[in-house]
Structure 1
Amino acid sequence: MIGSPEINKLIRKILSPTLKDNGFDKVNTRNNWGWKDHCIWVLDITAVGKYFSDVTGWSPMSVYVELGIYYCFVPPKDGELKIGTKAELLPKPHQCQLQKQLYCSLDQSNYTYHFDNPAEQKRNDIWWIEPDGANIEKVINNIKQSFLSDGLVWLMKYTDLVTAFKEIESEHDSFNKFYKARYFAEHLNDNFKFEEYSHLLEKEQKRIEGLFS
Protein backbone atom coordinates (compact mmCIF):
# COMPACT_ATOMS: atom_id res chain seq x y z
CA MET A 1 0.00 0.00 0.00
CA ILE A 2 1.15 3.53 -0.82
CA GLY A 3 2.31 5.68 2.10
CA SER A 4 2.19 9.37 2.94
CA PRO A 5 5.83 10.04 1.89
CA GLU A 6 5.10 9.04 -1.72
CA ILE A 7 1.96 11.19 -1.83
CA ASN A 8 3.71 14.13 -0.18
CA LYS A 9 6.51 13.96 -2.73
CA LEU A 10 4.06 14.54 -5.58
CA ILE A 11 2.22 17.25 -3.66
CA ARG A 12 5.52 19.11 -3.32
CA LYS A 13 6.30 18.59 -7.00
CA ILE A 14 2.89 19.48 -8.52
CA LEU A 15 0.89 21.59 -6.08
CA SER A 16 3.35 23.37 -3.78
CA PRO A 17 4.91 25.57 -6.53
CA THR A 18 1.43 26.70 -7.58
CA LEU A 19 0.58 27.67 -4.01
CA LYS A 20 3.84 29.60 -3.69
CA ASP A 21 3.09 31.45 -6.93
CA ASN A 22 -0.42 32.38 -5.80
CA GLY A 23 -0.21 33.93 -2.37
CA PHE A 24 0.93 31.21 0.04
CA ASP A 25 4.02 32.10 2.06
CA LYS A 26 4.49 28.98 4.20
CA VAL A 27 4.06 25.86 2.09
CA ASN A 28 4.39 22.71 4.22
CA THR A 29 3.06 20.06 1.82
CA ARG A 30 -0.32 19.35 3.45
CA ASN A 31 -0.56 22.47 5.64
CA ASN A 32 -0.18 25.84 3.95
CA TRP A 33 -0.62 29.48 4.94
CA GLY A 34 -0.51 32.90 3.31
CA TRP A 35 -0.45 36.13 5.32
CA LYS A 36 -2.27 39.18 4.00
CA ASP A 37 -2.76 42.62 5.60
CA HIS A 38 -5.78 41.63 7.66
CA CYS A 39 -6.19 37.91 7.16
CA ILE A 40 -4.52 34.53 6.76
CA TRP A 41 -5.18 32.09 3.93
CA VAL A 42 -5.21 28.42 4.88
CA LEU A 43 -5.17 25.25 2.74
CA ASP A 44 -5.03 21.80 4.31
CA ILE A 45 -4.92 18.39 2.62
CA THR A 46 -6.11 15.56 4.89
CA ALA A 47 -6.32 11.81 4.43
CA VAL A 48 -9.70 10.30 5.33
CA GLY A 49 -8.02 7.61 7.44
CA LYS A 50 -8.72 4.00 8.34
CA TYR A 51 -11.88 4.49 10.42
CA PHE A 52 -13.60 6.52 7.69
CA SER A 53 -12.42 3.95 5.17
CA ASP A 54 -13.86 1.05 7.17
CA VAL A 55 -17.22 2.79 7.54
CA THR A 56 -17.66 4.17 4.01
CA GLY A 57 -15.47 2.14 1.66
CA TRP A 58 -13.20 5.00 0.53
CA SER A 59 -9.53 4.05 0.41
CA PRO A 60 -7.79 5.25 3.60
CA MET A 61 -5.25 7.41 1.74
CA SER A 62 -8.01 9.28 -0.12
CA VAL A 63 -7.90 12.99 0.65
CA TYR A 64 -10.09 16.05 1.06
CA VAL A 65 -8.94 19.66 0.75
CA GLU A 66 -10.11 22.45 3.04
CA LEU A 67 -9.65 26.19 2.60
CA GLY A 68 -10.14 28.89 5.17
CA ILE A 69 -9.65 32.60 5.71
CA TYR A 70 -8.78 33.68 9.23
CA TYR A 71 -9.47 37.36 9.95
CA CYS A 72 -6.90 38.52 12.47
CA PHE A 73 -9.12 41.17 14.08
CA VAL A 74 -11.66 38.55 15.25
CA PRO A 75 -10.50 36.98 18.54
CA PRO A 76 -10.40 33.16 18.45
CA LYS A 77 -13.25 31.36 20.21
CA ASP A 78 -12.21 27.73 19.87
CA GLY A 79 -9.02 27.37 21.85
CA GLU A 80 -5.59 28.78 21.21
CA LEU A 81 -4.16 29.18 17.73
CA LYS A 82 -0.91 27.43 16.92
CA ILE A 83 2.05 29.81 16.81
CA GLY A 84 4.94 29.33 14.38
CA THR A 85 8.66 29.69 15.08
CA LYS A 86 8.54 33.32 13.95
CA ALA A 87 5.51 34.07 16.19
CA GLU A 88 3.18 33.86 13.18
CA LEU A 89 -0.37 32.57 13.60
CA LEU A 90 -1.03 29.15 12.04
CA PRO A 91 -4.81 28.59 12.15
CA LYS A 92 -6.47 25.38 11.02
CA PRO A 93 -9.37 25.60 8.54
CA HIS A 94 -11.98 24.88 11.23
CA GLN A 95 -10.70 27.89 13.20
CA CYS A 96 -11.25 30.25 10.25
CA GLN A 97 -14.25 32.56 10.11
CA LEU A 98 -14.92 31.59 6.49
CA GLN A 99 -14.36 28.05 5.22
CA LYS A 100 -14.63 26.18 1.95
CA GLN A 101 -13.91 22.74 0.53
CA LEU A 102 -12.45 22.00 -2.87
CA TYR A 103 -14.19 19.50 -5.14
CA CYS A 104 -13.00 16.71 -7.40
CA SER A 105 -13.88 16.91 -11.10
CA LEU A 106 -12.55 13.45 -11.93
CA ASP A 107 -14.94 10.61 -12.74
CA GLN A 108 -14.56 8.36 -9.70
CA SER A 109 -17.61 6.18 -10.34
CA ASN A 110 -15.44 3.14 -11.05
CA TYR A 111 -14.30 3.33 -7.41
CA THR A 112 -17.57 4.30 -5.74
CA TYR A 113 -20.32 2.48 -7.67
CA HIS A 114 -20.28 -0.47 -5.28
CA PHE A 115 -20.72 1.61 -2.09
CA ASP A 116 -23.81 0.69 -0.04
CA ASN A 117 -24.59 4.33 0.74
CA PRO A 118 -25.85 6.27 -2.34
CA ALA A 119 -24.60 9.52 -0.80
CA GLU A 120 -21.06 8.14 -0.72
CA GLN A 121 -21.37 7.10 -4.36
CA LYS A 122 -22.17 10.67 -5.40
CA ARG A 123 -19.87 12.73 -3.21
CA ASN A 124 -17.17 14.75 -4.92
CA ASP A 125 -15.46 16.37 -1.94
CA ILE A 126 -12.97 13.49 -1.67
CA TRP A 127 -10.26 12.39 -4.09
CA TRP A 128 -9.88 8.61 -4.26
CA ILE A 129 -6.26 7.47 -4.07
CA GLU A 130 -5.67 3.90 -5.19
CA PRO A 131 -3.94 1.72 -2.57
CA ASP A 132 -0.97 1.17 -4.89
CA GLY A 133 -0.73 4.90 -5.70
CA ALA A 134 -1.25 4.41 -9.43
CA ASN A 135 -3.44 7.53 -9.76
CA ILE A 136 -1.64 9.92 -7.41
CA GLU A 137 -0.33 12.22 -10.14
CA LYS A 138 -3.79 12.52 -11.68
CA VAL A 139 -5.29 13.30 -8.26
CA ILE A 140 -2.76 16.00 -7.34
CA ASN A 141 -3.11 17.63 -10.75
CA ASN A 142 -6.89 17.73 -10.28
CA ILE A 143 -6.48 19.29 -6.83
CA LYS A 144 -4.22 21.89 -8.43
CA GLN A 145 -6.85 22.58 -11.10
CA SER A 146 -9.59 22.88 -8.49
CA PHE A 147 -7.48 25.31 -6.49
CA LEU A 148 -6.75 27.53 -9.49
CA SER A 149 -10.29 27.53 -10.89
CA ASP A 150 -12.27 27.68 -7.66
CA GLY A 151 -10.19 27.98 -4.50
CA LEU A 152 -7.99 30.90 -5.49
CA VAL A 153 -10.99 32.86 -6.77
CA TRP A 154 -12.74 32.27 -3.43
CA LEU A 155 -9.70 33.33 -1.40
CA MET A 156 -9.23 36.53 -3.38
CA LYS A 157 -12.94 37.38 -3.25
CA TYR A 158 -13.25 37.09 0.51
CA THR A 159 -9.97 38.79 1.28
CA ASP A 160 -12.01 41.92 0.60
CA LEU A 161 -13.45 42.72 4.02
CA VAL A 162 -16.69 44.31 2.81
CA THR A 163 -17.47 41.24 0.70
CA ALA A 164 -16.55 38.93 3.57
CA PHE A 165 -18.79 40.89 5.96
CA LYS A 166 -21.73 40.56 3.57
CA GLU A 167 -21.13 36.81 3.37
CA ILE A 168 -21.12 36.52 7.15
CA GLU A 169 -24.31 38.59 7.40
CA SER A 170 -26.00 36.17 4.97
CA GLU A 171 -25.40 33.21 7.29
CA HIS A 172 -28.18 31.77 9.43
CA ASP A 173 -28.65 33.66 12.69
CA SER A 174 -26.51 32.10 15.39
CA PHE A 175 -24.08 32.97 18.16
CA ASN A 176 -21.21 32.31 15.75
CA LYS A 177 -22.61 34.68 13.12
CA PHE A 178 -23.28 37.48 15.61
CA TYR A 179 -19.83 37.04 17.15
CA LYS A 180 -18.03 37.36 13.80
CA ALA A 181 -20.26 40.17 12.55
CA ARG A 182 -19.71 42.22 15.70
CA TYR A 183 -15.94 42.28 15.20
CA PHE A 184 -16.23 42.89 11.47
CA ALA A 185 -18.49 45.89 12.10
CA GLU A 186 -16.06 47.21 14.70
CA HIS A 187 -13.09 46.82 12.36
CA LEU A 188 -14.97 48.50 9.50
CA ASN A 189 -16.07 51.37 11.77
CA ASP A 190 -19.75 50.62 11.15
CA ASN A 191 -21.08 51.82 14.49
CA PHE A 192 -24.73 51.08 13.71
CA LYS A 193 -24.06 47.42 12.88
CA PHE A 194 -21.59 47.12 15.73
CA GLU A 195 -24.33 48.08 18.17
CA GLU A 196 -26.85 45.84 16.40
CA TYR A 197 -24.66 42.75 16.48
CA SER A 198 -23.44 43.44 20.01
CA HIS A 199 -27.08 43.44 21.12
CA LEU A 200 -27.91 40.28 19.16
CA LEU A 201 -24.80 38.54 20.51
CA GLU A 202 -25.70 39.39 24.11
CA LYS A 203 -29.29 38.27 23.57
CA GLU A 204 -28.20 34.97 22.03
CA GLN A 205 -25.70 34.39 24.84
CA LYS A 206 -28.46 34.80 27.41
CA ARG A 207 -30.74 32.46 25.46
CA ILE A 208 -28.05 29.77 25.38
CA GLU A 209 -27.28 30.19 29.08
CA GLY A 210 -30.98 29.82 29.81
CA LEU A 211 -31.01 26.41 28.19
CA PHE A 212 -28.55 25.12 30.77
CA SER A 213 -29.86 26.88 33.87
Structure 2
Amino acid sequence: MIGSPEINMVIRQILSPTLKENSFNKVNTRHNWACIDHCIWVLDISAVGKYFSDVTGWSPMSIHVDLGIYYDFIPFKDGEIKIGNKGELLPKSQQCHLQKHLFCNIDQSIYTHHFDNPAEKERNDIWWIKPNGSNIKEVLTDIKKSFLIDGLEWLRENTDLKIALIEIEKEYNSFEKFYKAMYFAEHLKDKQKFNKYKALLEQEQKRIDTLFN
Protein backbone atom coordinates (compact mmCIF):
# COMPACT_ATOMS: atom_id res chain seq x y z
CA MET A 1 0.00 0.00 0.00
CA ILE A 2 1.14 3.52 -0.80
CA GLY A 3 2.31 5.60 2.16
CA SER A 4 2.48 9.27 3.10
CA PRO A 5 6.11 9.76 1.94
CA GLU A 6 5.23 8.79 -1.65
CA ILE A 7 2.17 11.05 -1.67
CA ASN A 8 4.12 13.92 -0.13
CA MET A 9 6.76 13.64 -2.84
CA VAL A 10 4.12 14.18 -5.54
CA ILE A 11 2.57 17.06 -3.56
CA ARG A 12 5.99 18.75 -3.56
CA GLN A 13 6.41 18.12 -7.28
CA ILE A 14 3.00 19.28 -8.49
CA LEU A 15 1.26 21.51 -5.93
CA SER A 16 3.98 23.14 -3.83
CA PRO A 17 5.52 25.19 -6.71
CA THR A 18 2.06 26.56 -7.56
CA LEU A 19 1.50 27.64 -3.96
CA LYS A 20 4.88 29.39 -3.89
CA GLU A 21 4.00 31.20 -7.12
CA ASN A 22 0.78 32.45 -5.54
CA SER A 23 1.93 34.14 -2.33
CA PHE A 24 2.35 31.13 -0.03
CA ASN A 25 5.58 31.96 1.78
CA LYS A 26 5.63 28.97 4.16
CA VAL A 27 5.10 25.80 2.14
CA ASN A 28 5.35 22.63 4.20
CA THR A 29 3.89 19.93 1.92
CA ARG A 30 0.55 19.26 3.63
CA HIS A 31 0.35 22.45 5.72
CA ASN A 32 0.88 25.77 3.96
CA TRP A 33 0.51 29.45 4.85
CA ALA A 34 0.59 32.88 3.25
CA CYS A 35 0.72 36.08 5.31
CA ILE A 36 -0.95 38.97 3.49
CA ASP A 37 -1.65 42.17 5.40
CA HIS A 38 -3.99 41.17 8.25
CA CYS A 39 -4.84 37.84 6.62
CA ILE A 40 -3.24 34.43 6.93
CA TRP A 41 -4.13 32.06 4.12
CA VAL A 42 -4.08 28.36 5.00
CA LEU A 43 -4.14 25.26 2.80
CA ASP A 44 -4.19 21.90 4.59
CA ILE A 45 -4.13 18.45 2.99
CA SER A 46 -5.31 15.57 5.18
CA ALA A 47 -5.78 11.84 4.70
CA VAL A 48 -9.20 10.48 5.66
CA GLY A 49 -7.57 7.75 7.76
CA LYS A 50 -8.40 4.15 8.65
CA TYR A 51 -11.44 4.77 10.86
CA PHE A 52 -13.16 6.92 8.21
CA SER A 53 -12.21 4.30 5.63
CA ASP A 54 -13.70 1.47 7.69
CA VAL A 55 -16.96 3.37 8.21
CA THR A 56 -17.46 4.79 4.71
CA GLY A 57 -15.48 2.65 2.27
CA TRP A 58 -13.12 5.38 1.05
CA SER A 59 -9.52 4.23 0.72
CA PRO A 60 -7.59 5.29 3.87
CA MET A 61 -5.01 7.37 1.99
CA SER A 62 -7.70 9.38 0.18
CA ILE A 63 -7.33 13.07 0.90
CA HIS A 64 -9.34 16.23 1.36
CA VAL A 65 -8.06 19.78 0.97
CA ASP A 66 -9.22 22.58 3.26
CA LEU A 67 -8.66 26.30 2.85
CA GLY A 68 -9.00 28.95 5.49
CA ILE A 69 -8.36 32.62 6.17
CA TYR A 70 -7.38 33.71 9.66
CA TYR A 71 -7.75 37.44 10.44
CA ASP A 72 -5.13 38.53 12.96
CA PHE A 73 -7.22 41.34 14.46
CA ILE A 74 -9.75 38.86 15.90
CA PRO A 75 -8.62 37.52 19.29
CA PHE A 76 -8.37 33.73 19.29
CA LYS A 77 -10.41 32.31 22.13
CA ASP A 78 -10.36 28.51 21.82
CA GLY A 79 -7.05 26.77 22.48
CA GLU A 80 -3.72 27.89 21.09
CA ILE A 81 -2.42 28.67 17.64
CA LYS A 82 0.97 27.35 16.62
CA ILE A 83 3.72 29.96 16.45
CA GLY A 84 6.48 29.71 13.83
CA ASN A 85 10.22 30.22 14.34
CA LYS A 86 9.89 33.90 13.39
CA GLY A 87 6.93 34.51 15.68
CA GLU A 88 4.37 34.17 12.89
CA LEU A 89 0.94 32.65 13.50
CA LEU A 90 0.43 29.24 11.85
CA PRO A 91 -3.25 28.39 12.32
CA LYS A 92 -4.88 25.18 11.15
CA SER A 93 -7.63 25.50 8.56
CA GLN A 94 -10.27 24.59 11.15
CA GLN A 95 -9.08 27.49 13.34
CA CYS A 96 -9.69 30.03 10.58
CA HIS A 97 -12.51 32.56 10.62
CA LEU A 98 -13.53 31.71 7.04
CA GLN A 99 -13.21 28.16 5.73
CA LYS A 100 -13.70 26.38 2.43
CA HIS A 101 -13.23 22.92 0.91
CA LEU A 102 -11.70 22.30 -2.47
CA PHE A 103 -13.69 19.96 -4.71
CA CYS A 104 -12.72 17.08 -6.97
CA ASN A 105 -13.34 17.34 -10.71
CA ILE A 106 -12.48 13.69 -11.44
CA ASP A 107 -15.23 11.13 -12.02
CA GLN A 108 -14.69 8.79 -9.07
CA SER A 109 -17.84 6.69 -9.50
CA ILE A 110 -15.73 3.68 -10.44
CA TYR A 111 -14.55 3.64 -6.81
CA THR A 112 -17.70 4.82 -5.01
CA HIS A 113 -20.59 3.18 -6.91
CA HIS A 114 -20.73 0.25 -4.48
CA PHE A 115 -21.05 2.41 -1.33
CA ASP A 116 -24.15 1.75 0.77
CA ASN A 117 -24.52 5.40 1.79
CA PRO A 118 -25.82 7.53 -1.14
CA ALA A 119 -24.20 10.64 0.36
CA GLU A 120 -20.77 9.00 0.18
CA LYS A 121 -21.37 8.03 -3.45
CA GLU A 122 -22.08 11.64 -4.38
CA ARG A 123 -19.53 13.55 -2.30
CA ASN A 124 -16.81 15.38 -4.20
CA ASP A 125 -14.77 16.89 -1.37
CA ILE A 126 -12.47 13.85 -1.22
CA TRP A 127 -9.93 12.60 -3.75
CA TRP A 128 -9.71 8.81 -3.95
CA ILE A 129 -6.15 7.50 -3.86
CA LYS A 130 -5.67 3.93 -5.01
CA PRO A 131 -3.90 1.65 -2.53
CA ASN A 132 -1.06 1.18 -5.02
CA GLY A 133 -0.77 4.92 -5.60
CA SER A 134 -1.04 4.67 -9.37
CA ASN A 135 -3.36 7.70 -9.63
CA ILE A 136 -1.50 10.10 -7.33
CA LYS A 137 -0.31 12.38 -10.14
CA GLU A 138 -3.83 12.58 -11.55
CA VAL A 139 -5.17 13.48 -8.09
CA LEU A 140 -2.56 16.16 -7.40
CA THR A 141 -2.99 17.65 -10.87
CA ASP A 142 -6.72 17.97 -10.19
CA ILE A 143 -6.11 19.50 -6.76
CA LYS A 144 -3.82 22.04 -8.39
CA LYS A 145 -6.54 22.82 -10.94
CA SER A 146 -9.19 23.19 -8.23
CA PHE A 147 -6.93 25.51 -6.25
CA LEU A 148 -6.18 27.75 -9.24
CA ILE A 149 -9.75 27.91 -10.54
CA ASP A 150 -11.71 28.02 -7.30
CA GLY A 151 -9.55 28.27 -4.19
CA LEU A 152 -7.22 31.09 -5.17
CA GLU A 153 -10.10 33.32 -6.23
CA TRP A 154 -11.85 32.67 -2.90
CA LEU A 155 -8.69 33.52 -0.94
CA ARG A 156 -8.07 36.73 -2.87
CA GLU A 157 -11.68 37.83 -2.70
CA ASN A 158 -11.93 37.40 1.07
CA THR A 159 -8.64 39.20 1.67
CA ASP A 160 -10.77 42.27 0.99
CA LEU A 161 -12.02 42.80 4.55
CA LYS A 162 -15.27 44.44 3.51
CA ILE A 163 -16.15 41.44 1.34
CA ALA A 164 -15.13 39.06 4.13
CA LEU A 165 -17.45 40.84 6.58
CA ILE A 166 -20.31 40.46 4.11
CA GLU A 167 -19.61 36.71 3.99
CA ILE A 168 -19.60 36.50 7.78
CA GLU A 169 -22.88 38.39 7.95
CA LYS A 170 -24.45 35.69 5.73
CA GLU A 171 -23.67 33.01 8.31
CA TYR A 172 -26.29 31.52 10.60
CA ASN A 173 -26.84 33.73 13.65
CA SER A 174 -24.62 32.47 16.46
CA PHE A 175 -22.18 33.59 19.12
CA GLU A 176 -19.32 32.85 16.72
CA LYS A 177 -20.82 34.99 13.94
CA PHE A 178 -21.47 37.97 16.22
CA TYR A 179 -17.99 37.66 17.74
CA LYS A 180 -16.25 37.75 14.35
CA ALA A 181 -18.48 40.47 12.95
CA MET A 182 -17.94 42.72 15.99
CA TYR A 183 -14.15 42.61 15.62
CA PHE A 184 -14.38 43.10 11.86
CA ALA A 185 -16.53 46.19 12.36
CA GLU A 186 -14.13 47.51 14.98
CA HIS A 187 -11.15 47.01 12.65
CA LEU A 188 -13.01 48.67 9.77
CA LYS A 189 -14.04 51.53 12.06
CA ASP A 190 -17.72 50.92 11.34
CA LYS A 191 -19.21 52.17 14.61
CA GLN A 192 -22.79 51.38 13.69
CA LYS A 193 -22.08 47.73 12.93
CA PHE A 194 -19.74 47.43 15.89
CA ASN A 195 -22.51 48.54 18.27
CA LYS A 196 -25.00 46.24 16.53
CA TYR A 197 -22.87 43.12 16.81
CA LYS A 198 -21.63 43.97 20.30
CA ALA A 199 -25.24 44.10 21.47
CA LEU A 200 -26.11 40.87 19.67
CA LEU A 201 -23.04 39.17 21.14
CA GLU A 202 -23.97 40.22 24.67
CA GLN A 203 -27.56 39.09 24.10
CA GLU A 204 -26.41 35.70 22.82
CA GLN A 205 -24.02 35.30 25.76
CA LYS A 206 -26.88 35.92 28.20
CA ARG A 207 -29.01 33.34 26.37
CA ILE A 208 -26.23 30.77 26.57
CA ASP A 209 -25.65 31.53 30.26
CA THR A 210 -29.30 30.86 31.08
CA LEU A 211 -29.02 27.40 29.54
CA PHE A 212 -26.33 26.42 32.03
CA ASN A 213 -27.66 28.17 35.14
Q: Does 1:23 align with 2:23?
A: yes
CA separation in 1, counterparts of 2:151 and 2:30? 15
Amino acid at match of 2:161: L
* 1:165-180 equivalences in 2 (<5 Å): 165-180=165-180
* Cα distance in 2 between the residues matched to 1:170 and 1:147: 24
Aligned residue for 2:198?
Answer: 198
TM-score, with structure 1 as normaliser: 0.99
Q: CA–CA distance in 1 between the matches of 2:145 and 2:172?
A: 31
Q: Which residue of 2 aligns with 1:138?
A: 138
SS of equivalent residue, structure 2 residue 133: coil
**RMSD of aligned Cα (Å):** 0.5
| Consecutive unaligned residues in structure 1, runs of 5 or more | none
Structure 1 position 170, deviation (Å): 1.2
Q: Deviations over 1:151-181 (max 9, x none)?
A: 0000000000000011111111110000000
Per the TM alignment, residue 44 of structure 1 is displaced from its structure 2 partner at its CA by: 0.1
Aligned-partner Cα distance in 2 for 1:77–1:174: 15
Aligned to 2:3: 3
Tell me, in whole angstroms, the C-alpha distance in 2 between the residues paired with 1:148 and 1:23: 12
Distance 1:78 1:12 in 2: 32
For 2:52 and 2:77, how far apart are their aligned partners in 1? Answer: 28
1:59 and 1:150 mapped to 2: Cα distance?
A: 25
Which residue number corresponds to residue 159 of structure 1? 159
**In structure 2, the residue corresponding to 1:178 is in which secondary structure?**
helix
Q: How big is the shift at 1:115?
A: 0.5
The whole-number CA distance in structure 2 between the counterparts of 1:128 and 1:154 is 24
Question: Which one-letter code corresponds to 2:11 in the other structure?
Answer: I
Structure 2 unaligned residues grouped into runs of 5+:
none
Query: What residue number does 1:103 align with?
Result: 103
Runs of 4+ in 1 over 6 A off after TM superposition: none
What is the letter of the counterpart of residue 144 of structure 1? Answer: K
- Secondary structure of the corresponding residue to residue 27 of structure 1: strand
Q: Secondary structure at the match of 2:129?
A: coil
Letter in 2 for 1:56: T
Q: Show CA shifts across 1:25-64 (max 9, x none).
A: 0000000000011110000000000000000000000000
CA distance in 2, matches of 1:142, 1:19: 14
CA distance in 1, matches of 2:200, 2:115: 45
Query: For 2:15, what is the secondary structure of its paired residue?
Result: helix
Write out aligned runs for 1:50-199 (5 A): 50-199=50-199
Amino acid at match of 2:74: V
Equivalent residue letter for 1:115? F
TM-score by structure 2 length?
0.99
- Offset, 1:76: 0.7
SS in 1 for 2:44: strand
Alpha-carbon distance in 2 for matches of 1:121, 1:34? 34
Fraction of identical pairs, as percent: 69
Paired residue type of 1:9: M
What letter corresponds to residue 125 of structure 2 in structure 1?
Answer: D
Task: Provide Cα deviations, 1:2-32, integer angstroms capped at 9, x if missing partner.
Answer: 0000000000000000000011000000000
